Structure formats: structure tokens, C-alpha cells
Structure 1
Amino acid sequence: MTVTDEAARRRGIEVRSIEYVPLAERHGKVSHIGPLWFMCNAQIATLATGLISITGGGNLIWSLIAIAIGVCIGTIFMAAHSSQGPQLGLPQMIQSRPQFGYVGALLVWLFAYIQYAGFNVFNGALGGEALGGAISSKQASNDLWIWVVTIVAVVIALVGYDFIHLFERYLTMLTILVLALVSVAAIVHLHIPSSQFDLGHFSATPFFGQVGVAAGYQISWAIYVSDYSRYLPADTKPSHTFHVTFWGSALGGIWMMFLGSWIAVSYKDIGSNTVVDLQRVANKLFPHFGTFALIVLAIGLISVTALNMYGGSLTLISSIDSFKKVNPTLGIRIVTLVLTAALSLGFAVLATSNFLANFNDFLLVILYLFIPWTAVNLTDFFIVRHGHYAIGEIFRPDGIYHRFGWAGIAAYVIGFAAMVPFFNVSGFFEGWISHAWGGVDISMFIGLPVAAICYWLFTRNLDVDAEKVLADEQIKEIEALASGVRQ
């Protein structure tokens, strides 16, 4: 740690990035994770994921059932990743090296970075629209607010881990109050036809489409989760980390998606402008409440954008490290944050209504890419290696995890290929099985088990016991070195 880094750390600025977090620096409470993951879903962008069934011809009751099922399924996988953080003390994506290799992990890191950038473009544009709509109706004002959203998010991400958790905890309390009032306005003032509660009106295509998008939306957080649990004490019970993450994320997701579906059946033009729809509903409670609600929820978008900036920076550092060894200082964090912000800002300002309208398609494609990864990563952690990794080897190009992990790469490719016939991205691609089934997309339920089983079969000859011995030796060496540096 350089003199500059030490000074920054004393001012509360995080200096670590992709490296292991020593036990002496572990801190925080597992309960702090809940508000963070609640806020990741309790924001405007999540509303849109609750519209899939309604816009596809389904009714409200089956939409709500599909949302609940999809969110719970997806969050199980996402929360399982969260339990990896305290045990390994590493960011999420760097943990892909034992499965995909020192260089091979670039495959999933590229997809991750595209996801971070894509979400930032969408969140920046939507946040700018929300703040611009609350304060001014001019497009120029919206562009100005996109700059504000991006800059504030970069500052939050730069200060880092502890400030992100603190910011989310306080924002959660205000957001719950606002969402409760908006929900009351929607329930009391919006007319819902009785046919929307008819269980006899079931349509498979919108139902499974909603289940898939809701589950996939939750799984999309899997590339983030260990980033925000890696500083917790190593003796944190995995079950505690899992449950707090699960309920925080699931409750936020279900609430916002339910609200989106509820509003959708009341406005014929729902989805044409999510910001305007939400403001109209909030204003039914009392005048100008919609403006206040938009501002609060736009701040929620800022917090999510900060997480994308933070994760994008870690992923970019990891990628650079695959080609040239990186000294993970504050300086490299600043450079990668600025690059990520510049990319996101440029596309957000230029984003057209067509991009925003097709965001769900973008989301589906990204989710298709990460379903095999989450299967491989979780199978390796919980079934193959049981959480025992040689931390030092993760940062060695010629270490035991090799440059290319062919077992992980092959399992990923096979899992992805098995999903293709079940894909259904409207206006872009429809697999032959999905087409034969009238557009039903169950690709997630194919890719997860296929990739997991293949990886398990491909790693049957691993000498896991020897790896565990090496892992124990290396963690002692790393901790001893960290202790010496502190002294």
C-alpha cells in the first residue's frame, strides 16, 4: 500500500480492488447487506420487468404469480453467490479464474462489462428523465441530469465499499416510505377490472415469459454480490449471508414488479413512459407528490449506477491483470472508474427512445450469457471445491488454475448451446422449440442444469484434497504477509 493509498484509507476512501481482503480488515454486519440489495431492486428500472406478462396478453393475477415464482427462483442463485464473499474475501468476478482460467475468465468478464455499461446507459438515461421530468420538461435539462447522475455515482463508487453500504441503508428508509405511499395511491385510485383476477384466464407464453424475465433479472445481480460481502468477517455464517441477501433482494424486486403490473392494467399506454406513468399514479395521492417520488426514486437509480461503476471498475482491473500484472492501487481504481463513467455517459446522452424501448431484449441477451456462468461458478464452489481455493494461485498466470480452464469453458459453451432452441428475443431471434411452443421461453431452466452437470462431470478427476492443503498454506502466508505490512 503506497503512502497515497494509506492517506486515502484514513480519509475513508477504499483503496483495495481485486486483491484479497485480509482478516484484520474484515468488518461490518451481515444485516447491512439487506438494505443494499433491497435498494438495487426498489428503483424505477425494476418496474419495467413487471410488465412482460401484461403487455403479452396475460392478466394481473397470473402476472403476480409469475413474478413471485421468477423472483424467488432467480434470487436463490443470486444469494448463493453472496455467501462466497466472506469465505473468499474476493470480488465476485475474479472468482471465475478457478473455473475458466487466468485468461479464459476474460470470456465472462467481457460479458459482465457489457452488462455494467448497458445498465448504466439505461439507468443514466432513466435517471436523467426522472430528475428532468420532476424539475423541468426540457430535453436539455434531461441531458444535464444524466451528467449529474453519472458524476454523483462515480463519487459514491470512488469512496467505495463502506460508503456504498451507508448510503444504501439511509436511502432504504426513505424509499420504503415513498413506495408505501405510491402503492396506496395505486391500490386506492386505480381501477382494476375483475377479469384481471380470473385464475381461469391462463396463457402460457406471457406467464413463462414473465417468470423467465423476473428470474433472469435477479440472476443478473449475481456478478455483483460478493463485491459487497467480501469485507465481512470470515466466520460469518453462509446461511446468514444467504438469507439476508435473499430477502432484501426478493422483497425489493417483488414490490416493484407487482407495482409495475398493477399500474399496467390501469393505463392503456403503460410502458410508453415509465417515469410519466409513475408520476401520474403518485400525484393521485396528493398534488406534487409525484415530483417528490421521482426525485427519491431517481436517487435510487444513482445508487444502482454507483454499483455498476464500482463493479465495472473491478472487472476492468481484472481484465487488465490478465494481460499485465496490476498493482491494485487507488490510482488504478480512479482510472478504471473514469473510463467506465465516460463510456456510460457518452452512450446515455446519445441513447434514443428505441434503445430504451428495446432494453428488455438487451436484458434477455445478457441473462442468456450469464445463466451458464452462474451454474458453473456455484457448482464449483458448493459441490466440487466446497469453497476451498488457493488465493495466491488465482493471481498467478501459471498457477494450478492454468491460463484456460477448459472444464469451465466447455461446460459454459454446452450449457449455452442447449439453451439456444428455447430462446425467444422478440424481433431478434426465436429458437425452434420456443417457436413450436408458441413463444414460450424456458431456456433458463435448461441452461442451468446442463452447464452444472457438465462442469461436475468434467471435474471428477480434480485432486481437491491437494488443492485444499495448498489453499490452507497460502492463506496463512498471505495473512502473515498482511500482518507484517501493517506492522
Structure 2
Amino acid sequence: MSEQLTGRRESAASIESATIQPIPLDQRHGTNRDMFTIWFGTNIMVLAIVTGALATTLFGQPAWSAALAIVIGNLFGAVFMALHSAQGPRLGVPQMVQTKGQFGSWGSVLIVLIVVCMYLGFFISILVFGGESLASVIPHLGQRGGIVLIAAASLAATVWGYALIHAYARIMTFVSGAVLLLAFVWAFVVNPVPVTFFQTSGASLAGFMSIVSASAVWQIAYAPYVSDYSRYMPAQTGAKPAFWMSYWGSSIGSILPMFLGAGIGLLLPDLDPVVALTKATAGISVLVVAVFSVGVAATNAMNLYCSTLCTITIVQTFAPRFTARSRERALIATGFVVVALGVALTAGDDFVATYNNFLTLLLGSLVPWTAVNLVDFYLVRHGDYAVEDFFRRDGGRYGLVNWPAVICYLIGVAVQLPFMVIGTAYTGPIAGLLGNTDISFIAGLLIVSPLYYVTVTALARRKAGAGEAVASVVDAQPQPE
């Protein structure tokens, strides 16, 4: 597929005017490489390192087990993330607007609300870890000062919008990638590695599967907004290039910093992961933390951008004449930043454990949605949607509530509960029988995907059969002379 630009590329210095409106074909722009850099450049950040550190600190895995779990989880989860990314060039609208095509206009509101809460949670998490990392190398700034600084940078990128976020990611792909390589060399080559670093004992199925789940949800968590960053791509980009560029950008960009976090967790297991990072890279820690903190602002801008678009989607659902542009995006984003700062500035010391529980709950709410969305898009409708109906008060041909999708989603959430392990707060009965191993995401995918497909295809056949019966009765009526 040619990477020739189509349409006019917006300047990164100009404020994006569009929010959730369909992007016209003559305004599409970008190349396949943009899908790699947006996901590679924004995944190399402090939060990915902290997530990788969970493998060796919280879950107690040796190096080989931690590395294998990180690779399996990311490669598996990135499949779903990339399938969503390939939807953007086809429809030209944000992911949560497109969800109306599966759940109906009002039925999608439940999912969109969950997504708003989810990305606001990620936004707060990144503020806390980013602020902590900045404070570790700039003591006079303090954690609160770091939090405020990252929040301001994230808000600015959200206000400017799509083009600036992509430009930011292209730069960070090279800068963060180079610093990440330097951090690996400094932590594990320049400094001596203890003999215990390579021990092979201590692996457990429960710990292994927990980090597989955490790595998978890292990727699946992008699903509700991944096509927000591919919707400007030319329609002729094609599904395969968009899929593979997003897949490898996100999976490689996540695996590498998670490896770094897991390794640092083995080097300094008794320290907070952010503090351990600064000690393991002593001598260049200011450079490492500064660059990764700049990357944090880019990623958090994406979380804030998505939360804002989702909020606009909810308002537009009940007020179809509401046409939000850059001003409304800026106002809503500012409101979210105020709320996030209120939480982040008062976060407790047990935030790492709380964050892990948040990942588990997140996975439980996302898996059924992604199953319904992907089955509907690729197997039922084959990408053929009436985009204009997404913006109608009555939902157009998709209606107000598509009950089969909503019911399958709720069933998917329920069936995962027995397989879940949420820290020390809850262990499902089946997870307990499996040695406290969380495989809820596997259960959700295996049940919801065929359930939804069978349900909607059976209803379609019944509807088609009823239509044929009516037609045969009409044909049998005597025709007037």
C-alpha cells in the first residue's frame, strides 16, 4: 500500500477544529508509519516500567518467567487493539461513536461512561507516577509540582488535538527509544548484576498468568480509543497496513519498557519502582526520568483527549444538535484535569496495589465490549455501517438500544467474575481452584464472541424468514383486474 499523503496534513501548531464529527475524505492525511510511531512513542513511559515491575515485585516471578509473561500478554492483547485501529480509516469517526452501531444510541452510553471513568483513572495513575519520577530527580520540584507540570502539558496537547499528539509521538519514538536503550545498558551492563538476577526458581502459575493478564489489559485498554488516532488516515490506507503498524508499534513499545521494569524489580526489589529506576540509572537518571516524564505527558494527553471525545459523544446522544468544536473540547478537558488533580494530589502510599486492582476491574469491563465490537464489525457487518445514523436522535437503523449486544455484554461481565482475582479484596471461586490464577479475560472472550455471533445471526435469519413469509402471503393475494 502506498504511503503517499492524501488530503492536507494539519500543522501541529494549529488547533484541531473537529471533535467527534466524521472526517471528510478530502481532509484525510497521514502515512502507515504514523500508526507505528503513535503507539511506539507513547508506550515508552514510566507507567509501563511500573507495570513490568509488578512481575518481579508484586508477583514474585524470576526473570525468564516475567519476560515470557510480558511477551505473551502484550502480543495477545495487541491483536485486539490493532483490529480496532484498522476500523478508523474505514469509518472516520472516534471509536466510541462507532460503538452506537453495535449497542444502539442509548445502549452505548453505558460503555462510553465506563470508558470515561477508565481513562480518567489512567490519567490520574500517570500523573501520580510521573510526578513521583520527576520529584526523584528534581527534589525541589516535589511530587505535587511534578503532577501539576505533567497535567498542564497534557492539557495543552489535548487542546491542540490530533496533529500535535501525532507529531509529539513521532519525536518521542526516537528520543524515548534511544534513552530506553541507554537505560538498559546502564542498569544491566555498566552496573554489576547480582548472581540472583538469573535464578530460575520461584515461578508460579498464578503469578505468571497475573502478569499475562496485566500485559494483555495494557493493550486491550487502548481499544476504546485506538481508532481515534487512525480516523484521519486516508480511506485507501487499508486494514492490513493499519493493523500491522499499530500491532508492532504498540506491542514492541510496551514489551521493552516492561522488560526494563521487571529487571529493575529484580535489582532493587525492596524499593518503589520509580525510585528503583533512578538508582539503577544513577549518573544518567536525570536524563532518563526527564525523557520518560515528557513521554508521560504525550500518553496522558491521549487519555484526556479520549475522555473528552467520549463526554462529547454522550452529550450528543441526547442533544443531537450539539456540535462541539475546539472550544468545547478545551472546556471539558480542563474540567477533567481539575478533577484528576484533586485525586492525584491526595493519593496514598499504597497506590501501586490499588493500580493493580484497577487493571483487573478494567479488564473485566473491556473484554466483553471488544468481543462484541470486533465480531460485529468484522464478521457480521463486514465494516459496512451508515455513519450518518450514529448522530441521529433515534439511532437510525441501529435504534436506541440493541438489546442482544447489551445483554451479551452484561453476560460477559458476569461470567468473568468467578475467574477474577482482585488483589486481596476478592478471589473468584474458579480462580481459587486454579491456585488464585486470573484467567477472566480468556473466559470473557471465549464466551461472548460466539454468543454474540450466534445470537445476531439467528435473529437475522428469523427476521429474513418472517419477511419472506409476509412476501409470500402478499404474492398469494388475488391481484385486481
Distance in 1, matches of 2:450 and 2:15, equals 42
Distance in 2, matches of 1:320 and 1:190, equals 56
Distance in 2, matches of 1:174 and 1:195, equals 28
Map 1:24-43 onto structure 2 (within 5 A).
24-43=26-45
- What's the % identity of the aligned pairs? 33
Distance in 2, matches of 1:350 and 1:53, equals 27
Q: Secondary structure of 1:265's partner?
A: helix
Read off the aligned partner of 2:32 and give its amino acid letter: V
- How far apart are 1:282 and its partner, in Å? 1.1
CA contact (8 A) 1:52 1:209 kept: no
Distance in 2, matches of 1:432 and 1:84, equals 37
Paired residue for 2:254? 253
Paired residue for 1:364? 360
Distance in 1, matches of 2:11 and 2:258, equals 39
Give the CA RMSD over aligned residues: 2.0
Paired residue for 1:422? 419
- How far apart are 1:373 and its partner, in Å? 0.6
- How far apart are 1:201 and its partner, in Å? 5.6
Distance in 2, matches of 1:195 and 1:37, equals 30
Pair 1:197–1:355, CA change in 2 (3 A)? closer
- How far apart are 1:380 and its partner, in Å? 0.6
Q: Secondary structure of 1:45's partner?
A: helix
CA contact (8 A) 1:122 1:356 kept: no
Paired residue for 1:280? 279
Pair 1:269–1:32, CA change in 2 (3 A)? same
Q: How many residues align?
A: 450
Read off the aligned partner of 2:278 and give its amino acid letter: Q
Is 1:328 equivalent to 2:329 in the alignment? no
> Residues 136-164 of structure 1, C-alpha deviation per residue, up to 9 Å, x if partnerless?
256xx321221221111111111111111
Read off the aligned partner of 1:368 and give its amino acid letter: G
Is 1:411 equivalent to 2:408 in the alignment? yes
CA contact (8 A) 1:419 1:447 kept: yes
Paired residue for 1:187? 188
Map 1:441-456 onto structure 2 (within 5 A).
441-456=438-453
Paired residue for 1:483? none
Map 1:72-151 onto structure 2 (within 5 A).
72-136=75-139, 141-151=142-152
Read off the aligned partner of 1:307 and give its amino acid letter: M
- How far apart are 1:31 and its partner, in Å? 0.5
Read off the aligned partner of 1:306 and give its amino acid letter: A
Paired residue for 2:288? 293
CA contact (8 A) 1:9 1:15 kept: no
Pair 1:113–1:226, CA change in 2 (3 A)? same
CA contact (8 A) 2:217 2:362 kept: no
CA contact (8 A) 2:105 2:390 kept: yes
Q: Secondary structure of 2:67's partner?
A: helix
Q: Secondary structure of 1:58's partner?
A: coil
- How far apart are 1:10 and its partner, in Å? 11
- Bigger shift: residues 44-53 or 415-424: 44-53
Distance in 2, matches of 1:375 and 1:88, equals 19
Counterpart among 299, 304, 310 of residue 299 in structure 2: 304
Query: Where does the alignment leave 5 or more consecutive residues of structure 2 unmatched?
Result: 1-9, 464-481
Distance in 1, matches of 2:30 and 2:74, equals 27
Paired residue for 2:18? 16
TM-score between both structures, scaled by the size of structure 2: 0.90
- How far apart are 1:462 and its partner, in Å? 6.1
Distance in 2, matches of 1:89 and 1:290, equals 41
Pair 1:178–1:126, CA change in 2 (3 A)? same
Distance in 2, matches of 1:462 and 1:17, equals 35
Read off the aligned partner of 2:115 and give its amino acid letter: A
CA contact (8 A) 1:115 1:366 kept: yes
Pair 1:388–1:149, CA change in 2 (3 A)? same
Map 1:61-76 onto structure 2 (within 5 A).
61-76=64-79
Query: Where does the alignment leave 5 or more consecutive residues of structure 1 unmatched?
Result: 1-7, 467-487
Query: Whose Rg is larger?
Result: 2
Distance in 1, matches of 2:397 and 2:246, equals 32
- How far apart are 1:202 and its partner, in Å? 4.0
Distance in 2, matches of 1:73 and 1:258, equals 17
